[in-house]
Structure 1
Amino acid sequence: MALFKREVSEASQEILKKSMDFESNVISMVKRSERRAWIVAIGSMVLTLMLGGAIAYMLPLKEKVPYLVTVDLKRSTSTVSPLRDNVAATGIYASEALNRSHVARFVQAREGYDYDTINEHDWEYVASMSNDQVKGLFVQQFDGTANSPEKKWGRNTAIRVKVNSIVFNGLDEERGARPTGATVRFEKWKFDKTNGRSEYLSSHVATMSYEYKTNLKMSDHLRLRNPLGFQVTSFRVDDEFNAPVFKAGQPDKGVPLLTEDEGVMHRGADAPDAPSAVVPASAQPAQPSLPALPGAPATPAPGQ
């Protein structure tokens, strides 16, 4: 048997060892690759289950809200309102509600007229909510001539302002930009105090820019009218091209003459829970008071 034994050279042993090491490395790589594949598969399954659970959790939150589009053919205006079962659940941003309230109040006070309340209501709103330039243009209307409101309308006729729409300018919700102005479409109605009838006069578009000045210094009496320092920096009124189809002086049967809420609004009743504002030490010059309306009793200053 010794005759068949062959001695393996060192070179052959080295080659055999390398081949065995190669096979071992290949098997090890296959096992590692298989392990990584299982890890990825299990991770994908877990992620898929998590995403499926999140979608199933959010499905009940998805709600289809129908919208009602109302078109007023007389005034060429339209409103879009969501239809909800619970009206009280409808939310509105506080800043948007405040802006709409301030804009509507200013336009109604600036363009309306009532001999009995103009000194104690309209003039105070305009004085506290406008800068000197805008306020000066308002004062120029009451120059005592035949075209001035107190001469033209007198005591028994009032001009009511009906705001149809308010569109804010400069608003960018994605960038967080606040509105810097508004475009207001409104109508003027002549209200006869002797018989309680309202007649349509004209339609207009008001373009205004405004800002909030928290450090604006004013009297406590005017601060109750404008607690947040709303200031109109420019104001312009143009005629509305898409005017109502009814003629001037013709009553509009689709609009109530004067509701109880409108009466309170035009009388200038303040909200009982109006917020107060603190004027810092570095306040701007105080707002000058408006002159008394010619022919009307002057409003006594606070504390007199």
Structure 2
Amino acid sequence: MWELPLRRLSRRALRDEFAPNAPGPGASAAGEGARYYQEGGTWEEDRTLWKNSSLSIAWIIAAVMTVIALGAIVSLVSLAPLKTFEPYMIVVDKSSGFVEVKRPMAEGALSQDEAVTMFNVVRYVKARETYDPKALKDNFDLAQLLSTGDAARDLTDIFSPANPKNPIKLLGATMEVAVSVKSVTFPNQRTALVRFGTDEKSASNIIHRDWVALVRFRYSGSPMSNQMRFDNPLGFQTTEYRRDQETVPTAAGADK
């Protein structure tokens, strides 16, 4: 009763197992497994390649940042000798309120040229503004030597006999005017601002005045005599001179 179905099942199983071109369930499972492992291997290779490339990029970035950091350190070390401390002193004038910053003269051709020009400017202002009856001619001749153009004409007009404000007429032979220069600044290469004070001395009192003078100058290579070269070897010439009073005059006793 049960033999025929069993026999039929056995023949079908044998036919499926021994059929040469008919893939069975085992072959299908094997193909799926092979494809799964193949895809898994490809994914692992991709992950490995991505990891290696990421490490390479990270090392490149680290190397670049290291080079930049070393360059910054070298730059800072090279700039260290340039760091200097320059002491200076601030002086406030009690009468005019002018603030002056005093610094030491720096080395170099420019500062030396500026010092020479400052010397010539101060020399000119003192020769022009000082009034000493005993040295009147010497001061006038020096100021005239260092002047040209409008500055020379103005100086001649001041000491002209026709001028009622001629210092000789106003001050006479007994009074004196002493000059003290406070500061010299250069707004540009051909202009100087000079702040100075004058003390007008008489037998009874001293009158102090504060001034600011605008001095325009140049250096001339025009021929001049040896005597003029002795007093003005560089050919310094003031082309324009103007002074303005800064404060109200103050008077004090002659004994102070």
Q: Is the 8 A contact 1:130 1:232 kept in 2?
A: yes
Query: When you count helix as a share of all residues, which structure comes out higher?
Result: 2
Q: Is the 8 A contact 2:201 2:254 kept in 1?
A: no
C-alpha distance after superposition, 1:30-86 (max 9, x if no partner): 86775465344223213312322432454465345454322222242222235xxxx
Match of 1:105 among 78, 98, 123: 123
Match of 2:226 among 217, 220, 223: 220
1:33/1:233 Cα in 2 relative to 1: closer, same or farther (>3 Å)? Answer: farther
- The number of residues matched between the two structures is 219
What's the secondary structure of 2:159's corresponding residue?
coil
What's the secondary structure of 1:143's corresponding residue?
coil
C-alpha distance after superposition, 1:237-294 (max 9, x if no partner): 2222x346x32x54595xxxxxxxxxxxxxxxxxxxxxxxxxxxxxxxxxxxxxxxxx
Residue matched to 1:236:
242
d(CA) in 1 for partners of 2:253 and 2:232?
36
Q: Does 1:76 align with 2:125?
A: no
Q: Is the 8 A contact 2:144 2:155 kept in 1?
A: no
Q: Does 1:184 align with 2:201?
A: no
d(CA) in 1 for partners of 2:96 and 2:234?
33
Give unpaired runs (5+ residues) of structure 2. Answer: 1-19, 24-41
The amino acid that maps onto 2:193 is: T
The amino acid that maps onto 1:98 is: V
The amino acid that maps onto 2:195 is: R
Residue matched to 2:214:
207
Name which of structure 1's ranges 136-145 and 32-41 shifts more when overlaid on structure 2: 32-41
Query: What pairs with 1:121-160 in structure 2 (closer than 5 Å)?
Result: 122-144=139-161, 147-160=165-178
Q: Is the 8 A contact 1:75 1:243 kept in 2?
A: no
d(CA) in 2 for partners of 1:52 and 1:127?
60
RMSD: 3.9
C-alpha distance after superposition, 1:87-106 (max 9, x if no partner): 7xx52611321222122111
What's the secondary structure of 1:73's corresponding residue?
coil
Structure of larger gyration radius: 2
The amino acid that maps onto 1:70 is: V
1:252/1:34 Cα in 2 relative to 1: closer, same or farther (>3 Å)? Answer: farther
Residue matched to 1:297:
none
d(CA) in 1 for partners of 2:102 and 2:208?
28
Q: Is the 8 A contact 1:76 1:243 kept in 2?
A: no
| Greater RCO structure (CA 8 Å; 6+ sep) | 1
What's the secondary structure of 1:232's corresponding residue?
strand
**How many angstroms does 1:160 deviate by?**
1.6
Match of 2:106 among 91, 96, 119: 91
Give unpaired runs (5+ residues) of structure 1. Answer: 5-19, 172-178, 254-304
Match of 1:51 among 63, 72, 88: 72
